[in-house]
Amino acid sequence: MNHYPTWKNLLILGIILFGAVIALPNLYGEDPALQISQDRGQTMSEAELGLVKLILDKKDVGYTSVSAEDGRVLVRFDSVQHQLQGRDLLRAELDKNFVVAVTLAPRTPGWLRAMGLKPMSLGLDLRGGVHFLYQVDMEAAIQQRQERYAEDFSKLLRDERIRRTVDLVDGRIFVRLNSADDADRAEELMRDSDPDIEIKRRANGDGVEFRISMTPTQIKERQDFAIQQNTVTLRNRVNELGVAEPVVQRQGMDRIVVQLPGVQDPAQAERILGATATLAFHMVCDGENALEAERRGRAPLGCELFYDRQGNPQLLKRRTIVTGDQLTDASQGFSEGSPAVYVKLDSKGARSMLDTTQKNLGKPMAVVFVEQTRDLVERDGEMIEIRGEEKEVINIATIQGVFSNSFQITGLDVMEARDLSLLLRAGALAAPIFKIEERTIGPSLGQDNIEAGMNAIMIGFALVVLFMVLYYRVFGLVADIALITNLVLITALLSMLQASLTLPGIAGIVLTVGMAVDANVLIFERIREELKNGNSPQASITAGYEKALSTIADANITTLIAAVVLFIFGTGPIKGFAVVLSLGIITSMFTSILGTRALINLIYGNRKLDTLRI
């Protein structure tokens, strides 16, 4: 009676030992560190590693080691103060092509790293870093799509030699034809271009007018695309920054959360993440007088007035040859001693560029830098948001030869070339984004949070342990051993899954400790009840575990359902709490029922008992 077979005891012991090994990296702690990488993702060489050492040695900054890991240089420091000194020094001394990111490097021994084991990931509130919350401009996303429709329809009808006027007014596209004879052919072309678009036709004098609008389904799809594409683009930009363990995820209908653990200076991150810059290529309106157009305040038909970096007016053709979303790659380099950005286009952009360069050899083409803006102005006592676009001509060059998918852009300084290549390589935003929240958590505050959380766990744990031993004697000691095992297994699961532990997660661990004890209290009280009813000690132990099982299972399953609901509908810290609570429920069921039963069996099993100290 009350005896587990050997295989079951070995299985329980094996699970506990396996969990202990996985949790082991968490004992070694972390060092303040700097991660140095190249902005183009190239592997750092031995010479560059030596350069980092030389810079730090020259100023006698207190670092403990410099090593190469995963193609990057990792510098470990003995204190956060030296870490920040090293960051400022390296950013000042190294070339702008290098990204210096603040991080925390685990002190895990090599033999554990060789097994692929890592310490658990710490959330932003425990590790320190930067938190951004961005809002996606959904109206601009729809407007951009409508503008693309208007441009595509105009080109489509022009290629078919159909005389037309295309305007975009209040979210609707108006296509006016001079002759009703072309109406059927024009409508067929536009419907073939996009069968889902809504087209209404009506007579307009001798001609025909089409009123074209996007359907509610198309608007919803465009909004979903904008938020998904922007999330991917921001994730790419974060990767280019070289930040360790970033979090980039959608929040709600139109917001994106970006968390950069270990980053203490948000300036560079904000400049890269929030940038809405992209490029557009236009032919120059040859033979037109830009100064005269500026004086009149009106550009000639088919042209648009732009300004270059010196403030000089430039007349460019309205038709865009290639836009930023057709770029597939961009890299920084030098051309004839000047900074340059080398660009590659997708197949559609390459065809458009090839066609343009074939037809316009010897003519000037302009590169326009486009950036979305949002300003708050006061009107009639109310703050009104005004959206706009800033367009600046950064380069005008004569087309010297035919090219399609590969070419270069000049006319930039080194910093501009670096940032522009990074932005273009990461991808263009499908819609403008605007920062609505920013929080910076210093590493010292993160350490304070860790210490406060650990104190909460240890105080709660100590009180529970003391109570259980005093009240339930040997059984209480067994329950305490199970509690320690439970904490080890939770740590192992968090390390294995690399789920981020946050302050709410620590609260989840404390709650799990209480729930695990609650299960044992139910079992032990049932055993005491059976003893009072006159049952033998061995029969009381069996009845206690068997009869309390259903109650324990019901309580844990309902809590697990609540945790799953919190994870599905919660955001950020709520999800962290739900994950830790769910894992804690699973491990506490194992330790409180199987673990304690195995220990009780080893202590009291197969023995004749007259009394039971409980």
Task: Encode pLDDT of 392-435 as tens digits.
Answer: 887 787 887 787 778 777 766 776 676 666 666 655 677 778 77
**Is 163 found in the same domain as 14?**
no
Q: Is 198 helix (H, G, I), strand (E, B) or coil?
A: strand
Is a pLDDT exceeding 70 seen at residue 259? yes
Do residues 323 and 348 both lie within one domain?
Answer: yes
How much is the pLDDT for 123?
Answer: 73
Nearest-angstrom CA–CA distance, 213 and 523: 68
Counting every residue, how long is the chain? 614
pTM beyond cutoff 0.75: no
Rg of the chain taking only CA atoms, in angstroms: 33
We report the CATH number of the domain holding residue 349 as: 3.30.1360.200
For residues 84 and 50, give the distance between their C-alpha atoms in angstroms, rounded to a whole number: 20
Same domain, 454 and 402: no
Question: Can you tell me the distance from the alpha carbon of 79 to that of 82, in angstroms, rounded to the nearest whole number?
Answer: 5
Same domain, 201 and 283: no
Residue-wise pLDDT for 447-463, tens only, equals 676 677 778 778 877 88
Residues near 557 by Cβ (< 8 Å), separated by ≥ 6?
none
106, 131, 150 - which closes a domain: 106
Domains of the chain: total: 4
Question: Residue 127 falls within a domain, yes or no?
Answer: no
> Residue 89 belongs to a domain with what CATH number?
3.30.70.260
pLDDT score, position 14: 93
* Domain extent for 178: 140-219
Q: Are 560 and 582 in contact (CB under 8 A)?
A: yes
Cα distance between residue 332 and residue 312, in whole Å? 27
Asked whether the predicted pLDDT for residue 176 surpasses 70, the reply is yes
> For residue range 341-396, what is the model confidence (pLDDT) as tens digits?
787 887 778 888 888 888 888 888 888 877 766 565 666 767 666 666 778 887 78
| DSSP alpha helix (H) spans, 59-137 | 80-93, 110-114, 124-127
The answer as to whether 244 is a domain residue is: no
Helix (H) / strand (E) containing 143: helix 138-159
Same domain for 458 and 403, yes or no, is no
- C-alpha 200 chain-centroid distance: 42
Domain boundary residue, one of 219, 251, 267: 219
Same domain, 208 and 337: no
Same domain, 461 and 600: yes
The arithmetic mean of pLDDT across residues 576-580, rounded, is 85
Same-domain status, 293 and 309: yes
> Quick one: which H or E segment has residue 74?
strand 72-77
Does 202 share its domain with 65? no
Q: Is residue 266 part of a domain?
A: no
Q: Report helix, strand or coil for 509.
A: helix
Cα–Cα distance, 92 to 245 (Å, whole number): 25
Looking at the fold, whether 82 and 62 belong to one and the same domain comes out as: yes
Predicted pLDDT of residue 284:
92
d(CA 266, CA 438): 9
Coil, strand, or helix at residue 105? Answer: strand
The per-residue pLDDT for 427 is: 59
